[in-house]
Amino acid sequence: MKLLKTLMTGAALVVGLGGMAQAEDKTKVGFVYVGPVGDFGWSYEHNEGRKAVEEAFGDKVETMFVESVPEGADSERVMTQMALDGADLIFTTSFGYMDPTINVAKKFPNVKFEHATGYKQADNVSTYSARFYEGRSVIGHIAGHMTKSNTIGYIASFPIPEVIRGINAAYIAAKKVNPDVKLKIVWAYTWFDPAKEADAATALIEQGADIIMQHTDSPAAMTIAEEKGMYAFGQASDMKQFGPTARLSSIIDDWAPYYIARTQAVMDGTWESTSTWDGIKEGMVGIGDFSNDIPADVQASATALKEALISGATHSFTGPVNKQDGSSWLASGETADDGTLAGMNFYVEGIEGEVPN
């Protein structure tokens, strides 16, 4: 028995060493996606980032990815497998992978992990996210101008700070240009389920919304808006092909520069655990072309808002802003600090309904 054990340990060592030797030739980068790479939304853009890494480093890098990985225990297995396969760097690209990433990272201290949109760091776990809320401000501004029924429909996924932040940012910007605007929110409790997203869009339109915003990953809502003659915004990806007339603009995620920089850092041995939160300025958040349906003056003011967000002259959350219960959050001229934004769990004044818990 003991002999067997020794033999097995020896074999494991050899395999392990072999893996290491291989790893030294090429930097292996793994990606875990929550949806299919063909969702033409969130996971699609992450995969574009992966392709950019391959293009940038050519033979020096090897990438692998697993798509449609459920958040939770399954994702831990996928990450573990990637680490065992010799990955040097693993990007886990959904909020729900946060605890699994931390757990797996503990077991593989030599593998670097990068978790998107979360807030838990470790020595070998960085976090990164984009300031999508800046994009929400721009499209909220447009929606406030464009809505005729003064009702904007919002398909939300899960009640996490990132989603709530987006709702608040869009509402504040829309309200600023249209005091009568109302936000109707549907929680789909999924990142990716085209049928459900389509049903949610239909329900919102039936309840009087004439512009749809979404924080889910598929272009289904865009298709419905196109069919019913309403407006919508591309989410994560441009989505123009799904709604040639419905699409007003879009929030586009661009992960490529970050993925390339982090892979480079691993190659150079300069990788450190960091927390990155980039916005329009750094190019991580892009605003898609404006539709011709948007009047010229609105296009101009939306562009001005975008420029102001880039220069820092404006912040998406600038006081005076009250919380939903009427208590003061930001005094006049005050801007929100990143800590509050990162943990945001309340609606601002004027939004109806409660944040689900």
Partner 1 sequence: MDISIVSLLATLIVAATPILLAATGELIVEKSGVLNLGVEGMMIIGAICGFIAAVNTDSPLIGFIVAALAGAALSLLFAVLTQYLLANQVASGLALTLFGLGLSALLGHGYSGIKPPSSPKMEWFGMAELPVVGPIFFNHDMMVYFSIFLVLVVWLFLKFTRGGLILRAVGENHEAAHALGYKVIRIRILAIMFGGSCAGMGGAYLSLVRVPQWTEGMTAGAGWIALAIVVFASWKPWRLILGAYLFGGVTILQLNLQANGFDMPVSYLSMAPYLVTIVVLVIMSADRRRASLNAPASLGKIFHASS
* Contact in structure between 125 and 79 (CB atoms under 8 Å): no
Site string for partner 1, 152-181 (x = CB under 8 A): -x-----x----------------------
Segments of 188-290 assigned E as strands: 211-214, 231-236, 247-253, 275-278, 285-287
Candidate residues 1, 3, 195, 331; the one interacting with partner 1 per rule CB under 8 A: 195
Query: Which one of residues 90, 198, 213, 280 is an interface residue with partner 1 (CB under 8 A)?
Result: 198
- What is the three-class DSSP state of 236? strand
**Which one among 190, 264, 324, 340 touches partner 1, defined by CB under 8 A?**
190
Cis, peptide link before residue 320, omega less than 30° from 0: yes
Per-residue x/- mask for partner 1, residues 199 to 238, rule CB under 8 A?
A: xx-xxx-xx-x--------xxx--xx-xx-----------
Tokens representing residue 105 in the block: 């990272």
Of residues 96, 176, 91, 143, the one with CA closest to residue 291? 143
Q: Based on CB atoms, which residue is closest to partner 1, 31 or 317?
A: 31
How far apart CA 331 and CA 321 sit, in angstroms, is: 7
Interface with partner 1 (CB under 8 A), residue from 6, 68, 303, 345: 68
Pick the closer one to partner 1 by CB: 208 or 320. Answer: 208
Q: Which of 28, 29, 35, 69 touches partner 1 by CB under 8 A?
A: 35
Of 248, 252, 251, which Cα lies nearest the Cα of 290?
248
Under the binding rule (CB under 8 A), the answer on residue 184 touching partner 1 is yes
| Nearer of residues 302 and 351 to partner 1, judged by Cβ | 351
Q: Which of 176, 196, 228, 315 touches partner 1 (CB under 8 A)?
A: 196
- Cβ proximity to partner 1: between 283 and 350 the closer is 350
The residue range among 55-63, 105-113, 196-204, 273-281 that interacts with partner 1, by the rule CB under 8 A, is 196-204
- What does each C-alpha distance from 55 to 42, 48, 52, 154 come to in angstroms? 20, 10, 5, 36
Q: How far is the CB of 218 from partner 1 (least distance, A)?
A: 5
CA distances from 330 to 77, 196, 321, 323, 326 (A): 43, 36, 5, 9, 11
The number of residues that bind partner 1 (CB under 8 A) is: 44
Beta strand pairing call for 125-130 and 112-116: parallel
Please report, as residue ranges, which positions from 272 to 311 form the binding site for partner 1 (by CB under 8 A).
Answer: none
Asked whether 138 and 174 are in contact (CB, 8 A), the reply is no
Q: Considering the complex, what minimum distance in angstroms separates the CB of residue 207 from partner 1?
A: 4
Q: Count CB atoms within 10 A of the CB of residue 150.
A: 15
Q: Which is nearer to partner 1, 31 or 258 (CB)?
A: 31
**Which residue's structure tokens are 């030739």?**
25
Instruction: For residue 194, state whether it binds partner 1 (rule: CB under 8 A).
Output: yes
Least distance (Å) between residue 264 CB and partner 1: 31
| Closer of 191 and 258 to partner 1 (Cβ) | 191
| DSSP-derived secondary structure for 76-136 | HHHHHHHHHTT-SEEEE-SGGGHHHHHHHHHH-TTSEEEEES----BTTEEEEEE-HHHHH
- Mask 242-261, x = binds partner 1 (CB under 8 A)? x-------------------
Q: In the complex with partner 1, which residue's Cβ is closer, 207 or 328?
A: 207
List Cα–Cα distances, 93 to 36, 71, 159, in angstroms.
Answer: 12, 10, 17
Residue nearer to partner 1 on the CB measure, 132 or 242: 242
Min dist CB 82 to partner 1, Å, is: 19
Strands 151-156, 247-253: pairing kind: unpaired
- Contact present, 223 and 197 (Cβ < 8 Å): no
Report the site for partner 1 in 313-332 (rule: CB under 8 A).
none
Q: Which residues contact 167 (CB under 8 A, 6 or more apart)?
A: 136, 154, 156, 183, 185, 215, 347, 351
Residues making contact with partner 1 (CB under 8 A)? 35-40, 68, 153, 159, 184-190, 192-196, 198-200, 202-204, 206-207, 209, 218-220, 223-224, 226-227, 241-242, 352-354, 356-357
